[in-house]
């Protein structure tokens, strides 16, 4: 059993969605660690992405959610860490497929490009979707 289920982080461009998603995690009794940022002051997304990724790789957290302005910077940075499969999603189909087929362990969202209700639906879908294994495990193994 990991200490926490979800490590969540954002830069200033994703701060408001981070707070909204935390409200949802609390309402569902999903354990989480908020690794910042803690205000709308400008900060650097790679630092947050690396911190979240390392918590997952070190088995301190099961999965992660990262939000920046577009979701792109966070996904590029997180995917530099071996063992991280960060999925930048703008729709629920991709969110589900990223779990079922790619065993994504980080969800990346863009506060400036995805509406709030859609973003929350993406989070719910991603959290409730499972990896299918089988032929997909073979492919994921090839990534590693
Ligand atoms: C910050 O202005 C912005 O560049 C960042 O949030 C993100 O969109 C980067 O990919």
CA distance 118 to 139: 29
- Residue 1: predicted pLDDT: 47
CA distance 9 to 102: 21
- Residue 3: predicted pLDDT: 73
Ligand 1 contact via 45 beta carbon (within 6 Å): yes
CA distance 121 to 37: 23
Tell me if 104 sits within 8 A of 65, measured CB to CB: no
In CATH, the architecture of 4-143 is 3-Layer(aba) Sandwich (3.40)
Report, as residue numbers or ranges, the catalytic residues. 68, 101
Is 62 exposed, middle or buried, given 0-12, 13-18 or 19+ CB atoms closer than 10 A? middle
* 9, 13, 112, best to mutate for ligand 1 pocket (most atoms within 8 Å of CB): 13
Q: How confident is the model at residue 2 (pLDDT cuts 50, 70, 90)?
A: low
- Residue 126: predicted pLDDT: 98
Could you tell me the CA-to-CA distances from 34 to 11, 16, 53, 62, 96 in Å, in that order?
12, 13, 13, 14, 24
Summarize pLDDT for 58-88 with one digit per residue, the tens: 999 999 999 999 999 999 999 999 999 999 9
Query: Residues in the chain, how many?
Result: 144
Q: How confident is the model at residue 4 (pLDDT cuts 50, 70, 90)?
A: confident
Per-residue pLDDT for 98 more than 80? yes
Query: Which residues make beta-bridge pairs with 10?
Result: 67
Can you give the residue ranges of every domain in the chain? 4-143
The structure's pTM equals: 0.97
The mean pLDDT value for 90-111 works out to 98
Residue 25 C-alpha to ligand 1 middle, in angstroms? 24
- Residue 142: predicted pLDDT: 97
């Amino acid at each position: 059993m990991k200490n926490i289920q979800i490590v969540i982080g954002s830069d200033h461009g994703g701060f408001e969605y981070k707070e909204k998603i935390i409200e949802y995690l609390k309402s569902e009794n999903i354990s989480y660690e908020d690794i910042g940022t803690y205000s709308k002051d400008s900060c650097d997304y790679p630092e947050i992405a690396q911190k979240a990724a390392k918590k997952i790789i070190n088995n301190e957290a099961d999965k992660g959610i990262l939000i920046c302005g577009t979701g792109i910077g966070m996904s590029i940075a997180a995917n530099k860490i071996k063992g991280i499969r960060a999925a930048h999603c703008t729709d629920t189909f991709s969110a589900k497929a990223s779990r079922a087929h790619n065993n994504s362990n980080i969800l990346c969202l863009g506060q400036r490009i995805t509406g709030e209700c859609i973003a929350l639906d993406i989070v719910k879908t991603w959290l409730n979707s499972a990896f299918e294994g089988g032929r997909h495990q073979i492919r994921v193994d090839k990534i590693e």
